[in-house]
A and B are shown apart, each in its own frame.
Chain A
Amino acid sequence: MRSAELHNEIKELNLAYLMLAQQLIREDRDTAMFRLGISDEIADLLENLTPGQVLKMSGADMLLCRFRFDDRLLLGLLSSHDRESGMARLHAMILAAGKPVEAIA
């Protein structure tokens, strides 16, 4: 991928992520915290970003969402095909709900 194209892809993904996060938080804050894996403070912060700030942040040239599942078992459950997928997803959900949320340091 050429680098200009790459920057654009990152920017677009950032924009999509931030907009989706804001939408989720505004619709149902508590469920959104679970889905996004974020703390109360971060939910506040995201919710209060102005469109201008969202645009500006999107162009930061690095991805704004972080890889959440630094856990082999959870990764395996979500990506494997050998188990009944409903059960694997339920198992993954139970494990994911117990993970600490992303918080402001």
Chain B
Amino acid sequence: MYTAMRNRSVVTEGREIQRAAELIELGARLQILEAETSLSRERLLKLYKEVKGESPPKGMLPFSTDWFLTWQPNIQASLFMSFHRFMVENAGMHGLDAIIKAYRMYVEHVQYNGMEQVLSLTRAWTLVRFFDANMLKVARCERCGGQFVADVFDLTRGYVCGLCHVPARAGKTRRRLEQFNAEQGTKVTV
């Protein structure tokens, strides 16, 4: 984790490998593994290939907060953050543990309800970092009282969430439309 802890113990390393493998299975990118464990890049690469059977995707992590403000990602990110907040405030968890637990609950909820899962672990992890860096905040919906992800510069007095006031075309993505057309045999276009 930190360079000061470099006097390696086999047990610690074993734990880190286990933790890293868990993260890979949940869909973490290499950058997260590098930030959250003290394992070397070569070992992580090897581990990644072993767990996933393929090389990790290259390129930068998503770095924009805008994605979390569009409708579908916003409500799912808000769901994840409400689990995360519960874990931190009520179960006394913090750091990566809280993220993993909240993410597992999020995935379970989405799958159980047959919804499209839009938040990857990498997104969830960056989301928490954006909160830590005060780039995003939670806004309280004045209608339902729920807490939703918002930009830190948004004026949130009188804020109404995307679930109390669903925008007209919310969730009608191209993919959903194609699925609808395939099921109904129609040719509705955007």
Contacts of A94 in B (CB 8 A): 75, 78-79, 82, 146-148, 163
Q: Does B48 contact A (CB under 8 A)?
A: no
Q: Which of A29, A73, A91, A95 contacts B91 (CB 8 A)?
A: A29
A97, B82: Cβ atoms closer than 8 Å: yes
Contacts of B83 in A (CB 8 A): 34, 97
Contacts of A93 in B (CB 8 A): 79, 82, 109
Chain A interface, DSSP helix/strand/loop, else mixed: helix
Tell me, rounded to whole Å, the shortest Cβ–Cβ distance linking B4 to chain A.
29
B113, A89: Cβ atoms closer than 8 Å: yes
Tell me, rounded to whole Å, the shortest Cβ–Cβ distance linking A18 to chain B.
21
Contacts of B148 in A (CB 8 A): 94
Q: Which of A73, A87, A89, A101 contacts B90 (CB 8 A)?
A: A101
Tell me, rounded to whole Å, the shortest Cβ–Cβ distance linking A3 to chain B.
39
Q: Which of A29, A30, A40, A95 contacts B144 (CB 8 A)?
A: A95
Contacts of B57 in A (CB 8 A): none
Q: Does A31 contact B (CB under 8 A)?
A: yes
Contacts of B145 in A (CB 8 A): 73, 95, 98
A34, B113: Cβ atoms closer than 8 Å: no
Q: Which of A29, A87, A98 contacts B147 (CB 8 A)?
A: A98
Closest partner residue, chain B, to A73 (CB atom): B144
**Interface residue ranges, A against B (CB under 8 Å):** 29-31, 33-34, 39-40, 73, 85-87, 89-91, 93-95, 97-98, 101
Which residues of B81-123 are within 8 A (CB) of A?
82-83, 85-87, 90-93, 101, 104-105, 109, 113-115
Q: Which of B85, B93, B163 contacts A87 (CB 8 A)?
A: B163
Cα separation A101 to B87 with both chains bound (whole Å): 12
Cα separation A33 to B109 with both chains bound (whole Å): 16
Contacts of B109 in A (CB 8 A): 90, 93
Closest partner residue, chain B, to A87 (CB atom): B163
Task: Known contacts A33-B91, A73-B144; decide if A97 and B86 are in contact (CB<8 Å).
Answer: yes
Contacts of B147 in A (CB 8 A): 94, 98
Closest partner residue, chain B, to A97 (CB atom): B82
A95, B146: Cβ atoms closer than 8 Å: yes
Contacts of A34 in B (CB 8 A): 83, 86-87, 90-91, 105
Cα separation A97 to B148 with both chains bound (whole Å): 12
Cα separation A34 to B146 with both chains bound (whole Å): 16
Cα separation A52 to B74 with both chains bound (whole Å): 48
Task: Known contacts A86-B113, A86-B114, A93-B82; decide if A40 and B163 are in contact (CB<8 Å).
Answer: no
Contacts of B86 in A (CB 8 A): 33-34, 97
Q: List 15 A-B pairs, Cβ < 8 Å.
A: A30-B87, A30-B93, A31-B101, A39-B90, A40-B91, A85-B113, A86-B114, A91-B75, A94-B78, A94-B82, A94-B147, A95-B145, A97-B85, A97-B86, A98-B145
